[in-house]
Structure 1
Amino acid sequence: MSNEAPDLRDVAAGLRGGIGLVVRRLRQAQSEGGLTLPERSLLGRLDRGGPATTATLARLEQISPQSMGTTVGGLETRGLVGRQPDPQDGRCARVSITESGLQALRDKRDAQTQLLASALAHGFTPEEIGHLSAAGPLLERLAQSI
């Protein structure tokens, strides 16, 4: 084995390809409720960041206010989000995730976790699982530095 440090562009390209494929496969994982990608993204943002106006959410998600309104409306109809008057501006409403929305998000995350755990159990050696376990915190740190 060579003592030369790997080329950073090669490492970056390998990570991008591998992470991209994992993300695409996880997005395909089925769970109860059939959330779309924009719905999952919005619920996740509300879970992490708390209530926000639709205008703020549209800006953060980098979509049009009309598209955000449609997404919020669909989630509201299903009881996954609710709207309350904005305390700073009574003309606006703040959108928040409901307990049903949190459960839908947990169901999706659980389905994805089970998919990963099953793949690990059936295709990887204990040594490889150890390497992947060590990579998790490094990938989080990498994501935070981008």
Structure 2
Amino acid sequence: MNEAQPPAAAGEPDLRRETANRLRIGIGAFKRRVQDAGAAGELSNPQLTALSRLDRLGPMTTTGLARREQITPQAMGATVASLEKLGLVTRSAHATDARQSILSLTPEGLAAVHSGRNAVADKVTAVLEESFTDAEVAVLAAAAPLIERLAELL
């Protein structure tokens, strides 16, 4: 427990556990609705996630991508194979390990990841504009980096 935070008094709900459960439920529902809203022909969430990782972190192995997403290398391999088939990623020889290859975005992959991000961002932006106050958007903007950090630490 963080020493700056006093322990919960007897009978008080554990704020951290309640927050963890509400985040799990809310983020899960958000992910499902974003996936459901995807139009036919758009990249899947796993495909966009893999492309986004390569865009942000640079070239890496399939195993490296799998580790970042906390999935098996076999599952990531299926996603990478589909991205290769679409011409969005390319493989090159690993500098020190001939058993591995390095994945990189193609120019088409770079364009796809940016357009994919924009499609989702456009949908979320529309909902934020229609249904949230400026103060609520400010709270979400402040929470976003914390949620990203939480995801990285899990």
TM-score where L is the length of structure 2: 0.72
Asked if residue 84 in structure 1 is aligned to residue 92 in structure 2, the reply is yes
Tell me: CA distance 1:39–1:143, structure 2 relative to 1, closer, same or farther (3 Å). Answer: closer
Which residue in the other structure is 2:81 paired with? 73
Whole-angstrom distance in 2 between the partners of 1:117 and 1:31: 17
Partner SS state of residue 111, structure 2: helix
Which residue in the other structure is 2:32 paired with? 24
Which residue in the other structure is 1:140 paired with? 148
Which residue in the other structure is 2:14 paired with? 7
Partner SS state of residue 79, structure 1: coil
Q: Aligned pair count?
A: 142
Deviation, structure 1 residue 27: 2.6
Deviation, structure 1 residue 79: 1.2
Between 1:103-112 and 1:48-57, the stretch displaced more is 48-57
**Is the contact between residue 32 and residue 107 of structure 1 (CA under 8 Å) also seen in structure 2?**
no
**Is the contact between residue 32 and residue 108 of structure 1 (CA under 8 Å) also seen in structure 2?**
no
Which residue in the other structure is 1:41 paired with? 49
Q: Which has the higher contact order (CA 8 A, sep 6+)?
A: 1
**Is the contact between residue 35 and residue 44 of structure 2 (CA under 8 Å) also seen in structure 1?**
no
TM-score where L is the length of structure 1: 0.75
Which residue in the other structure is 1:120 paired with? 128
Whole-angstrom distance in 2 between the partners of 1:28 and 1:129: 23
Partner SS state of residue 80, structure 2: helix
Q: Which runs of 5+ in 2 are unaligned?
A: 1-8
Amino acid at match of 1:13: N
Whole-angstrom distance in 2 between the partners of 1:142 and 1:69: 26
Deviation, structure 1 residue 119: 0.6
Whole-angstrom distance in 2 between the partners of 1:107 and 1:32: 15
Q: Which runs of 5+ in 1 are unaligned?
A: none
Tell me: CA distance 1:18–1:58, structure 2 relative to 1, closer, same or farther (3 Å). Answer: closer
